[in-house]
Structure 1
Amino acid sequence: MRDLHLPGRSAVYARNGLCATSHPIAAQVAIEVLKSGGNAVDAAIAGALVLGIAEPQMTGIGGDCFVLLKPAGTEEIIALNGSGRSPRGLHAADLRARGLTAMPVQSVEAVTLPGAIDAFCRLNADYGLKSLAEVLAPAIRYAEEGIPVAPRVAFDWAEDLPCLRGAARDFYTLDGKAPAVGQVFRAPGQAEVLRRVARQGRAGFYEGEVAEDMIASLRALGGTHTLDDLAATACDYTVPVSGTYRGIDLVEHPPNGQGATAILLLNILRHFDLAAMDPLGSQRAHIEAEATKLAYDARNRFIADPDHTTRLDHMLSPDTAAKLAALIDPGRAMPAAAPLTEAIHRDTVYITVVDRDRMAVSLIYSIFWGFGSGLASSKFGINFQNRGAGFSLVEGHPNEAGPAKRPMHTIIPGMIRQNGRVLMPFGVMGGAYQPCGHARLVTNLVDYGLDLQEAMDAPRCFSGPDGMEVERGYSDKVRAELAELGHAVVIPKTPLGGSQAIRIDGDILVGASDPRKDGCALGY
């Protein structure tokens, strides 16, 4: 139990249903949907769409999603890939001919087709109890009426403001400025889009006037996107991947998401006695950083569009992890295992819902960078994602940019399973940090016995492209020790990610939400 003398928050306990996400209004919407007869799928979709209005710098209907779902009455976990593809006119050779060696990040070339709306429609049709119109109604209302800007959202908005161009500045600023805390953001254009989806299903988005607005806007910006590209967008049910760590199974979404990286990272960490290390000490941070470098190097080599991913079995093999673990020097930091090959950023939302029948949803939804590409459609203000920045321009690479191809994605929903039973849907936001965040949450729970909220509150560190990022929650002594080990220690400007989780303890649900975001866990 946490020290009640100190600032903090308790986990939330409930019996009938629970939601944890990064904005209180979205969590409340999800609970209202559950209380009115909806299930976890209905509630997760409703809450996620509200997040697009509450946190438009993080997500929106121009983005993608990934879902892990445990239906009621079974312990089977189903994966749904709601990520869109590149336009058929995208060719790495054309970009290399322009002198580019990496994908341009916030540009029309980085815009992939939005897959989330198709996935939400499919999920509602296959597993929801409420009509699509009922599920979309809260987001339509909040898009019309507006939502006051929360503190973390205001911070991010100001940081991301410079990327907004053209129509995006009209739709995502207030008189050209980032909104301050408490100012109301409205998106009436998105409300109209969602009304059409409510009436027509996916056709309201991928066909007709909304589709024409998106494609005409992209082509005016120099994109090769076509109406046929958009109409062909379709989600896929897939089979999750999993790995075992000290008695629990970590279940992840398969490629093109990077979930296998978290499994490999835990497989490497299994070779070290983390439990004997100080959870907030330099030794644990160092070992985790070195394992992260090795796991991410494998990710950069192998993970791509599912049709192009190579050597996934090799990446998940215990033998591979053992060989990588042997490369780690407990007394010295290695240089980066290999240069990171894809754009890195940290803008994503996550929502998890468990209902009274113990259907569990783990859903992550994103436009990638802050405000995605920084571009929007001219009529309805649909903010375009920049997921194509995740492609490589290296000729022959599995993740090489190409026509009608899914890029490697950073967003990964997770679940923990124990003895064949789903124990916890969870997610950790934070772009490239996410696999490291998944592994750290698991080790906080398993190796150190922290409760769910403590495991999220604990300070984080991450060895990424900007050096060894060590949050201010660590002591100066730990930072000095890490520097002595050879790490290029920096204090990140923004905290490392955010997280939410719900633990299923029989008749009791336990929810937690990361204080690094504005959100909360709510139950009833």
Structure 2
Amino acid sequence: MNTLCKLALSLVTPILLSACAVQTTSPQSSAVSTELGAGGRPVGEIWSRSPVYGTRGMAATAHPLASQVALDVLKQGGNAVDAAIAANAALGLMEPTGNGIGGDIFVLLWDPDTQKLYGYNGSGRSPQGQSLEQLKQRIAAMKARGELPEDHQGIPSHGPLPVSVPGTVDGWFAIHARFGSLPMNQVLAPTIDYARGGFPVTPVIAYYFDRSWNFFEKKYAGTPHLANIRDTWFKGGEAPAAGSVVTNKDLGDTLEAIALDGRDAFYKGRLAREMADYFESMEGGLAYEDFVQHEGEWVEPGSVEYRGYELYELPPNGQGFAALQMLSILKNVDLTQWERGSAEVFHYMVEAKRLAFEDVARYYADPAFADIPLEGLLSDAYGRERFALIDPEQASPEFGPGEPKLEGEGDTTYLTVADENGMLVSLIQSNYRGMGSGMVPDGLGFMFQDRGELFSLEPGHPNVYAPGKRPFHTIIPAMLMKDGQPVMSYGLMGGSMQPQGHVQILVNMLDFGMNVQEAGDAARFLHDGGSETTGIDGDPLGTLYVEPGVAVETIGRLEAMGHKVEVDSSGVRFGGYQAIYVDRENGSYAGATEMRKDGTVAAW
């Protein structure tokens, strides 16, 4: 029986049970399922499907139409940057439950001409005109008015207070100015057409639409905020169902203004003034000068070697280095001495995550405001030091942050695009929690992010709120390299799942030989708990959530080791994966998406 079939012995979907020809019962029922399962496959794992192959170009996104938009741009003579921007714009329209121009953007980009990997941090900053003390007073006033529970900790998740300047449009124009080839009006034209002519809603996005509407309908009942939300996405006071055709003409007009008048339309022109006017009556909202002063930055990606490859991630204020820290710990043990579905493999990965995230909570913040020991965090010596804290037989009740040397200096969408010249773009973009803050500027067709919720209110904390500061970020693109050349552009959306998912994908491929599609389809874990960058810490041991493909024997062994394990079959916690693998030997690309989202790979 293959490894993933062994993972599927219990608490498993009917498809996997049928595929592995195993009869079992779940802990909740003594009845054997008689539901019809999957058919067979002539090659590969029965629970997966084939990667998509192409030679001249490829796009992998969370929506089939966005992937097709990217491919069309490539066929029109655009490069991977043009196609990635086009796809991201389309996703902001078609998947507003996860992203849009009201949010931030991070990019890793391999340029074949210069033979170099570039990184762009397109995150926005908090309002310049609001101090930490003013923010605390405003939160206290919300509690006094009954708008927040008395025991609420931290910055509220919705309303104007968690809103930071959206960095996406700036990010588009920054990477386009340096590497793009087609004019921006041509790049944005497909999304403008879809916004006005309509597009069909896909099933997973319909599910998230329904969740969002149920929340906003209660949260903003009787307020102008609800009217703007309803009129933009929930016409008739209900969430659009799968297959229904929807439009967003306001967003089409906004994108047209950006396409014709450029970046300044959003940060200095009419759109900036309209956004500032929207917040003018709200305490703690963004001002016109906040938009004018926004600027993202090119940053140097960091890397860690693992099994002869190098994984590259962007530095803080994002959490990409958490994945690198996990690998730096895990490379001190040979995971292949056990089966992939064994408790031992899960145990080491989970403990590595817990150790890395203690450092995330202690050190990760806007580097313009905090001294972060970046080199020390990624050093082999520090990885060995942290690995030595793992008990191979037992989950540690609690970990704390380490003391690396100072040597110098979740909803989301992920997409990746490759072109025929070898350019690769790894791009992630988000409004953060749900659809965002609930703040929809009049007539502009998008919602502002609520990323500022992730600031700490604790004075002295590296991630404490300050005027003009970038909050801690969860969204991280990745690039796998070998011998100075790109091997795979990939990402996995979903809050703290992201670095955990990045590592699980690589372990699946580099340690256990799965292909690019199987690596994403295999059952995942998400560990939740421990210290937080907000200063609002969870249970030190935390909870280990696993998907139904994890064997009952493995779950039992993990529980005996002291882990608190829960099985979650929803797929919601475990992110959404896209990847493009570069097959240099055969001169082709292999692309992957997965079942947890609506996406597809489009290839040429």
Shorter chain as denominator, the TM-score bin is: over 0.9
1:511 equivalent to 2:573? Answer no
Provide the residue aligned with 2:504 in structure 1: 440
Provide the residue aligned with 2:438 in structure 1: 374
Provide the residue aligned with 1:9 in structure 2: 49
Q: Would you say the 8 A contact 1:501–1:513 is kept in 2?
A: yes
Other structure's SS at 2:466 match:
coil
Deviations 1:80-99 (CA, angstroms, capped at 9, x unpaired): 11111111123323334455
Q: Report the residue type matching 1:86 in the other structure.
A: S
Other structure's SS at 1:490 match:
strand
Deviations 1:346-371 (CA, angstroms, capped at 9, x unpaired): 31111111100001100001101111
Q: 1:318 aligns with which of 380, 391, 396?
A: 380
Q: What does 1:349-388 correspond to in 2, within 5 Å?
A: 349-388=413-452
1:269 equivalent to 2:269? Answer no
Provide the residue aligned with 2:186 in structure 1: 134
Provide the residue aligned with 2:578 in structure 1: 500
Deviations 1:449-487 (CA, angstroms, capped at 9, x unpaired): 111101010000021137111111212332222222222
Could you tell me how far 1:336 is from its partner in structure 2? 4.8
Could you tell me how far 1:156 is from its partner in structure 2? 1.5
Provide the residue aligned with 1:162 in structure 2: 214
Provide the residue aligned with 1:44 in structure 2: 84
1:121 equivalent to 2:165? Answer no
Q: Would you say the 8 A contact 1:168–1:377 is kept in 2?
A: no
CA distance in 1, matches of 2:211, 2:430: 17
1:417 equivalent to 2:457? Answer no
CA distance in 2, matches of 1:338, 1:326: 13
CA distance in 2, matches of 1:152, 1:464: 23
Could you tell me how far 1:221 is from its partner in structure 2? 3.5
Q: 1:469 aligns with which of 520, 531, 545?
A: 545
1:25 equivalent to 2:65? Answer yes
CA distance in 2, matches of 1:106, 1:511: 36
Could you tell me how far 1:442 is from its partner in structure 2? 1.0
Other structure's SS at 2:441 match:
coil
CA distance in 2, matches of 1:66, 1:43: 16
Q: Would you say the 8 A contact 2:369–2:469 is kept in 1?
A: no
* Structure 2 CA distance for partners of 1:523 and 1:369, relative to 1, 3 Å: same
Provide the residue aligned with 1:257 in structure 2: 318
Corresponding residue pairs, total: 518
* Structure 2 CA distance for partners of 1:56 and 1:295, relative to 1, 3 Å: same
Which segment drifts farther, 94-103 or 299-308?
94-103
Other structure's SS at 1:431 match:
coil
Deviations 1:98-139 (CA, angstroms, capped at 9, x unpaired): 557412222311100000001101211221110010001011
Q: Would you say the 8 A contact 2:526–2:573 is kept in 1?
A: no
Other structure's SS at 2:116 match:
coil
Q: 2:267 aligns with which of 191, 202, 206?
A: 206
Which segment drifts farther, 377-386 or 262-271?
377-386
Provide the residue aligned with 1:483 in structure 2: 559
Provide the residue aligned with 2:600 in structure 1: 520
Could you tell me how far 1:272 is from its partner in structure 2? 1.6
Q: Report the residue type matching 1:306 in the other structure.
A: P
Q: Would you say the 8 A contact 2:497–2:573 is kept in 1?
A: no
Other structure's SS at 1:363 match:
strand
Could you tell me how far 1:209 is from its partner in structure 2? 2.8
Deviations 1:480-524 (CA, angstroms, capped at 9, x unpaired): 222222222122342400111111112211111122110011111
CA distance in 2, matches of 1:146, 1:283: 50
Q: What does 1:140-289 correspond to in 2, within 5 Å?
A: 140-164=192-216, 165=220, 166=225, 167-289=228-350
CA RMSD of aligned residues (A): 1.8
Deviations 1:139-161 (CA, angstroms, capped at 9, x unpaired): 11111122211111111122222
1:330 equivalent to 2:410? Answer no
Q: Would you say the 8 A contact 2:494–2:573 is kept in 1?
A: no
CA distance in 1, matches of 2:418, 2:290: 35
Could you tell me how far 1:338 is from its partner in structure 2? 5.8
Other structure's SS at 1:10 match:
coil
Q: Report the residue type matching 1:514 in the other structure.
A: E
Provide the residue aligned with 2:462 in structure 1: 398
Provide the residue aligned with 2:35 in structure 1: none
CA distance in 2, matches of 1:162, 1:180: 14
Q: Would you say the 8 A contact 1:280–1:459 is kept in 2?
A: no
Which segment drifts farther, 275-284 or 394-403?
275-284
Q: Report the residue type matching 2:247 in the other structure.
A: R
Q: Report the residue type matching 1:501 in the other structure.
A: A
Q: Would you say the 8 A contact 2:163–2:285 is kept in 1?
A: no
Which segment drifts farther, 31-40 or 68-77?
68-77
Q: Report the residue type matching 1:440 in the other structure.
A: Q
Provide the residue aligned with 1:343 in structure 2: none
CA distance in 1, matches of 2:487, 2:115: 10
CA distance in 1, matches of 2:398, 2:439: 33
Other structure's SS at 2:555 match:
helix
* Structure 2 CA distance for partners of 1:173 and 1:336, relative to 1, 3 Å: farther
Q: Report the residue type matching 2:519 in the other structure.
A: A
Other structure's SS at 1:109 match:
coil
CA distance in 2, matches of 1:216, 1:355: 41
Could you tell me how far 1:18 is from its partner in structure 2? 0.7
Q: Report the residue type matching 1:490 in the other structure.
A: E
Could you tell me how far 1:184 is from its partner in structure 2? 2.0
Q: TM-score, structure 2 length as denominator? A: 0.83
1:69 equivalent to 2:106? Answer no
Q: 2:123 aligns with which of 83, 86, 104?
A: 83
CA distance in 2, matches of 1:22, 1:335: 37
Q: Would you say the 8 A contact 1:73–1:358 is kept in 2?
A: no
Larger Rg: 2
CA distance in 2, matches of 1:152, 1:90: 38
* Structure 2 CA distance for partners of 1:336 and 1:367, relative to 1, 3 Å: farther
CA distance in 2, matches of 1:491, 1:125: 46
CA distance in 1, matches of 2:338, 2:235: 49
Provide the residue aligned with 1:94 in structure 2: 134
* Structure 2 CA distance for partners of 1:522 and 1:336, relative to 1, 3 Å: farther
CA distance in 2, matches of 1:220, 1:214: 12
Provide the residue aligned with 1:291 in structure 2: 352
Q: Would you say the 8 A contact 1:110–1:388 is kept in 2?
A: yes
CA distance in 2, matches of 1:286, 1:94: 44
Which runs of 5 or more structure 1 residues have no equivalent in the other structure?
340-345
Provide the residue aligned with 1:342 in structure 2: none
Q: Report the residue type matching 1:81 in the other structure.
A: N
Q: Would you say the 8 A contact 1:214–1:382 is kept in 2?
A: no
Which runs of 5 or more structure 2 residues have no equivalent in the other structure?
5-39, 141-151, 402-409, 530-541
CA distance in 2, matches of 1:23, 1:171: 20
CA distance in 2, matches of 1:517, 1:75: 33
CA distance in 1, matches of 2:436, 2:250: 18
CA distance in 2, matches of 1:306, 1:7: 43
Q: Report the residue type matching 1:283 in the other structure.
A: E
Q: Would you say the 8 A contact 2:309–2:480 is kept in 1?
A: yes
Q: Would you say the 8 A contact 1:49–1:139 is kept in 2?
A: yes
